[in-house]
């Protein structure tokens, strides 16, 4: 089905590699994993993500279940994490949480280069800290993941969207500015202008026309101080640029927002996020500051390029007689316990078929066991690259095989 796909090795190896890199970085930062449901009540995303966003207006996979509930496949991870935080009473028992997730998201948008209807995200939600250090730490955690995975040519942009104290005046100034060209706005921007004019600047149709000349956010003293400290903590640790036009596409962001970009074109963002100090309260929890990010796994892989990891050499175990099956199976299984990739077990097939299977499996060596070998208590090792063979005693099999891989 268009926008959905099967992913096989070696492409799937890239996913595993990035996930592994992220888990290592998260562990070092003291973050713990949360696994959120794939399906939630649709109202969760409408209430949190914002009804002026493209995600809610046209991209959610929403449906009614047998019980008459309106559900949706998760289009992003933050709302589910915040819901879990509230429902499990973290705010009272352990308010500061670094929760990371790795999982598939779903958006019914037009598939294009680097964008699918089912895609994977890796994200972090740092809930409970209002300190600028939390913003900087979140950005640097993302940087460490990107760098650990091997993405080299990327840029980082940051901005501040202000707070409920200074943002209303800016929003009104922006509304007044955009109203002058109201008739030229796309239908969606006409609808969202009064409620969230920043979304106009993020619109793919209208944004490019207005983003450069539109009024810029004037931060209040507290927001300016917060942003200055974030920048100070990032200085010398990551290269970044301040982009006054960066607004991000979700309604709940306040103060710091950021984006990691690689390459050119509309789909150049590989990750992004920001602070959302009002989201927990708006979803029924207490007033609780938070900051987070989400990374598009497919985007990050494309930015780095699909690098084939150097595979460990594979051993294929072959039995030539029914009386040899038990010993061959024992060695195949024990090699895995020794950390050796071992395949085989096709003992019902003849020698030619087993060798053919070994070749298709990409084995570097085969261990053959027949009645003659059983009598001598040896395996015959065949090197597929050189075509040479030698005998290895049973008691030396694990030690010698390890020297080959």
pLDDT, one tens digit for every residue, the chain (405 residues): 788 889 898 889 999 999 999 999 999 999 999 999 999 999 999 888 766 566 666 688 999 999 999 999 999 999 999 999 999 999 999 999 999 999 999 998 776 666 789 999 999 999 999 999 999 999 999 999 999 999 998 999 999 999 989 888 888 888 898 888 888 888 888 887 877 788 788 787 888 888 788 888 899 999 999 999 999 999 999 999 999 888 776 668 899 999 999 976 556 899 999 999 999 999 999 999 999 999 999 999 999 987 766 667 999 999 999 999 999 999 999 999 999 999 999 999 999 999 999 999 999 999 999 999 999 999 999 999 999 999 999 999 999 999 988
CATH class assigned to 315-402: alpha beta
CA-nearest of 329, 334, 335, 323 to 365 is 335
Q: Are 48 and 252 in contact (CB under 8 A)?
A: yes
Distances (CA, A) of 277 to 138, 282, 311: 15, 10, 45
Residue 191, helix vs strand vs coil:
helix
Amino acid 98: pLDDT: 98
Q: What is the CA radius of gyration of the chain?
A: 28
Q: Are 15 and 5 in contact (CB under 8 A)?
A: no
Start and end residues for every CATH 3.30.930.10 domain found in the chain: 11-166+217-304
Q: Strands of 155-160's sheet, edge to edge?
A: 32-33, 97-106, 118-127, 290-296, 269-275, 254-261, 155-160, 241-242
Residue listed under structure tokens 């598009």: 296
Residue 51 DSSP symbol: T
The H or E element that residue 141 is part of is helix 132-149
Helices 132-149 and 297-304 meet at what angle, rounded to 10? 50
Total residue length of the chain: 405
The H or E element that residue 177 is part of is helix 167-179
Cis peptide leading into residue 292 (ω within 30°): no
Residue 130 neighbours by CB distance under 10 Å: 16
Could you give the angle at the alpha carbon of 225 between the alpha carbons of 228 and 166, nearest 5°? 115
Residue 278, helix vs strand vs coil:
coil
CA-nearest of 74, 231, 63 to 156 is 231
Amino acid 249: pLDDT: 61
Start and end residues for every CATH 3.40.50.800 domain found in the chain: 315-402
Q: Are 257 and 248 in contact (CB under 8 A)?
A: yes
- Residue 18 structure tokens: 């990035």
Residue 152 neighbours by CB distance under 10 Å: 10
Q: Are 318 and 369 in contact (CB under 8 A)?
A: yes
Q: What whole-number distance in Å separates Cα of residue 143 and Cα of residue 28?
A: 14
Amino acid 212: pLDDT: 80
Residue listed under structure tokens 């060798």: 355
The H or E element that residue 123 is part of is strand 118-127
Q: How far apart are the first and last CA of the chain?
A: 40
> Which residues are within 8 A (CB) of 187 and not within 5 positions of it... i.e. 6 or more apart?
none
Amino acid 51: pLDDT: 64
CATH class assigned to 11-166+217-304: alpha beta
């Amino acid at each position: 089905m268009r926008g959905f796909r099967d992913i096989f090795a070696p492409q799937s190896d890239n996913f595993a590699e990035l996930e592994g890199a992220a888990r290592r970085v998260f562990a070092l930062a003291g973050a713990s994993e949360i696994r959120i449901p794939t399906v939630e009540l649709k109202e969760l995303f409408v209430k949190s993500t914002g009804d002026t966003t493209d995600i809610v207006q046209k991209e959610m996979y929403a449906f009614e279940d047998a019980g008459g509930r309106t559900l949706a496949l998760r289009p992003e991870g933050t709302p589910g994490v915040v819901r879990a935080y509230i429902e499990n009473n973290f705010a009272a028992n352990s308010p500061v949480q670094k929760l990371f997730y790795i999982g598939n998201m779903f958006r019914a948008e037009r598939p294009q280069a680097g964008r699918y209807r089912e895609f994977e995200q890796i994200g972090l939600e740092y809930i409970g800290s209002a300190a600028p250090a939390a913003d900087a730490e979140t950005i640097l955690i993302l940087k460490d993941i990107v760098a650990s995975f091997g993405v080299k040519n990327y840029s980082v942009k940051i901005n501040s969207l202000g707070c409920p104290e200074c943002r209303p005046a800016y929003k009104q100034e922006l509304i007044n500015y955009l109203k002058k060209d109201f008739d030229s706005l796309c239908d969606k921007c006409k609808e969202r202008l009064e409620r969230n004019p920043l979304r106009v600047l993020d619109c793919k149709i209208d944004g490019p026309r207005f983003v450069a000349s539109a009024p810029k956010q004037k931060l209040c003293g507290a927001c300016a101080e917060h942003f200055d400290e974030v920048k100070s903590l990032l200085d010398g640790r990551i290269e970044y640029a301040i982009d006054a036009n960066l607004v991000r596409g979700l309604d709940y962001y306040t103060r710091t927002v950021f984006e990691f970009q690689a390459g050119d074109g509309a789909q150049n963002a590989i990750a992004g996020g920001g602070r959302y100090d009002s989201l927990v309260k708006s979803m029924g929890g207490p007033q609780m500051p938070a900051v987070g990010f989400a990374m598009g796994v497919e985007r990050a892989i494309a930015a780095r390029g699909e690098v084939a990891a150097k595979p460990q050499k594979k051993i294929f175990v072959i039995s030539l007689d029914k009386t040899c099956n038990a010993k061959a199976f024992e060695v195949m299984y024990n090699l895995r316990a020794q950390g050796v990739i071992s395949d085989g077990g096709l003992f019902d097939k003849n020698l030619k078929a087993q060798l053919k299977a070994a070749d298709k499996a990409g084995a570097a060596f085969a261990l053959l066991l027949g009645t003659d070998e059983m009598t001598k208590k040896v395996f015959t090792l065949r090197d597929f690259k050189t075509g040479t063979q030698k005998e290895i005693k049973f008691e030396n099999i694990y030690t010698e095989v390890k020297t080959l891989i």
